[in-house]
Amino acid sequence: MTKKNPFLTGTLILTLAGFASRLIGFFYRAFLSQTFGEEGMGIYQLLAPVMALSFSLTAAGVQTAVSKFTASEPTTKNYRSSLRVLCAGFLISMPLSALCAFILYRYSDGIAAAFLQEVRSAPLLRIFALSIPFCSLHSLVNGYFYGIKRAGIPAFTQIAEQLARVGSVFWLCAHLHAKGTAPQIGCAVVGLAVGECFSALLSLVILYARFFRLERRRKRQPAVWHNVSDSALSHSERLAAMLRKIFCLAAPLTASRIAVNILQSVEAVSIPICLTTHGFSQAQALSVYGVLTGMALPLIFFPTALINSACVLLLPVISEADETGSHSTIRSVVKRSVIYCALFGTLCTICFLLFGQYAGMLLFKSQMAGSFILTLSFICPLLYLSGAFSSILHGLGKTGVTFFSSLAALSVRLFFVFRLIPRIGIQGYLYGLLLSQLLITLLDATAVRYYLGKRG
């Protein structure tokens, strides 16, 4: 089954791992909300834009490039080319990670006060900064395994990361309770760093074992690997050429991701500020923000484990089909993706409408979370469709299109943040989320239809 349909098999593996990981993370979120309260969750969630921005700067674009340039290894058996791709990715990503970690650690107080508008987040930033190089390393190794359609490895390390994160936080909280000390929200960030470090080291061990095994196989069966030398260039020249190729693909994608994440950071920081303008105290504003981003949205995103698994593997499949000129394969994959995403999203909307209020009370003991879930239930079909369209466009090499659509959607959300939240409260932001998701889905769908039409 794996050899005949690696896309289906990989999707199944990632789906099972994604559901297991999200299930662990879901109850972990419930534990955090009950242990640290709504305000603590609000402070923790303020780190989300910083996390997204640092990942975009250090690894996101390079990971996509690694997946794209290693997608041909199962066909060509040129694993040395894949190794060069990984080396080039590390040479680009790791210095950026070290620089980002240093800046975040050194200037955490200023970033917390001026950017996040919450000085209590400064110690959390310093802890998170230590995890950035490990996060980048783990992402690049995952990008390689996604590219060669070995989804089991990223799935395994994903579960391992979650278990290490949750286990370390549980142990730390129990240890502090035993000493008579109340645990603070910083424990959750310590768990985040522990999980990233463990998964990165585990990924490196698995990667080394794979290339070691391939090299031994090449020495035993040299006839099978006669085509591993893909040019007459020296190793350094090939590495330099690969560096240029990865940079040319990753740079515009990274720039677009950074621009989008900066706007998302402005959005995230401005929500509590605009809630105080509406009449809430700072504690109340952080509580509402924590309920929305730490409780309601994770539940809405929980079913995306299935769709995200397919979307991750859509990129190498579309990329390989586009390079070989198999346009019928692209159209078939696109058609099935749209049908399945629409049906699954509609089913999720119905479930959230029926059980959202009950789930908010049962899992988070928050009536507010249930109310948010009911409103956001209509976003599910749009959310899943836009994820599929985005992966398809990346596979076709049209990263600029996804940047434009993301920018347009963010502009809509920012308008609702600054204009409607001060007037009608957090409901104004929920309406902006729905409208912006509709816009990005329509823009990406139009782009996919246009580029498929150009390919006949």
Q: Cα separation of 292 and 42, whole Å?
A: 9
311: how many CB neighbours lie within 10 A of its CB? Answer: 23
Q: Cα separation of 249 and 251, whole Å?
A: 6
- The alpha carbon dihedral of 54, 57, 62, 64 has a sign of positive
Tell me if 448 sits within 8 A of 334, measured CB to CB: yes
Q: Write down the pTM of the prediction.
A: 0.69
Joined together, the tokens standing for residue 411 give 């502009």
- Sequence-distant (6+) residues with CB within 8 A of 423 are 278
332: how many CB neighbours lie within 10 A of its CB? Answer: 12
pLDDT of residue 3: 47
- Give the relative orientation of helices 282-291 and 6-45 as an angle to the nearest 10 degrees: 170
* Type of residue at 349: T
Q: Cα separation of 267 and 443, whole Å?
A: 21
Hey, what's the torsion of the CAs at 393, 397, 401, 403, to 10 degrees?
100
pLDDT of residue 255: 80
pLDDT of residue 145: 86
Q: 44-66 as b/e, with b when 16 or more CB fall inside 10 Å?
A: bbbbebbbbbbbbbbbbbbbbbb
- The alpha carbon dihedral of 200, 263, 348, 329 has a sign of negative
Tell me if 159 sits within 8 A of 21, measured CB to CB: yes
pLDDT averaged per 10 residues in sequence order, the chain, 456 residues: 52 67 76 80 83 87 85 69 86 92 92 85 92 92 84 84 91 88 87 92 90 75 50 69 84 78 83 90 85 84 71 69 76 84 90 89 83 91 87 79 86 92 91 93 91 74
With H, G, I as helix, E, B as strand and everything else as coil, classify residue 359. Answer: helix
Q: Cα separation of 231 and 218, whole Å?
A: 18
| Nearest partner of 241 among 85, 91, 79, 95, judged by Cα | 85
Torsion angles phi and psi, residue 255, rounded to 5: -60, -40
Tell me if 441 sits within 8 A of 385, measured CB to CB: yes
Tell me if 401 sits within 8 A of 253, measured CB to CB: no
pLDDT of residue 80: 76
pLDDT of residue 35: 82
pLDDT of residue 21: 75
